[in-house]
Amino acid sequence: MPNDIFDKDGSYGRIVAHAPPNGGEERLTVEVDGRRVLVPANAVKRSRRGYFLPMRFKDLAPAPETESIVVPVMEERLRVETQPYEEKVTVEKRVQTRDEWVEVPTVGEEIAIERVAVNREVDTPVDAHYEGETLVIPLFEEEVVTRKRLVLREEIRITKRRV
């Protein structure tokens, strides 16, 4: 706003009058928190928020009640333009590591493998099956069997007689 003024502490005021030069110095009357103070005009700087005073309002002398005031008539014109610009951004990644002991409850399983020799002849193959919680996987082997049999083909009977 054109009449807003801020001091170095961030206090807000409003320019209410323009006082004529007094002893060669032009002054502004600023209303701050219900009281009026005199501000040297050459100390005021223009900013984006209005005007900026690089000192504190509370350190300034109060404005006299009977002082004649000249209020300047001002006109402000605004011209808006855009200008393309290129903005560069630098991104950094910092990795910090630290060692930490963490207790984690774990559950494990153990598997016991037991080999049992059976050596028994079976007529047909048997599938894998469970006996309780134990998985039984039969392993088969085919054997070629050559047998030697004793076969009785005939009998010769000899009888001894006494004559």
How does pLDDT run across 18-75, given as a tens digit for each residue?
Answer: 766 656 678 888 888 888 888 888 888 888 778 888 888 888 878 776 555 555 666 7
Instruction: Give how far Cα 144 sits from Cα of 58, 141, 147, Å.
Output: 117, 10, 10
- pLDDT bucket at 135, cuts 50 / 70 / 90: very high
pTM of the complete model: 0.37
- % of the chain beyond a pLDDT of 90: 9
pLDDT value, residue 136: 92
Structure tokens at 157: 């009977």
How many residues comprise the chain? 163
Residue 36, strand partner residues: 31
pLDDT value, residue 22: 58
| DSSP letter assigned to residue 63 | P
Residue 45, strand partner residues: 52
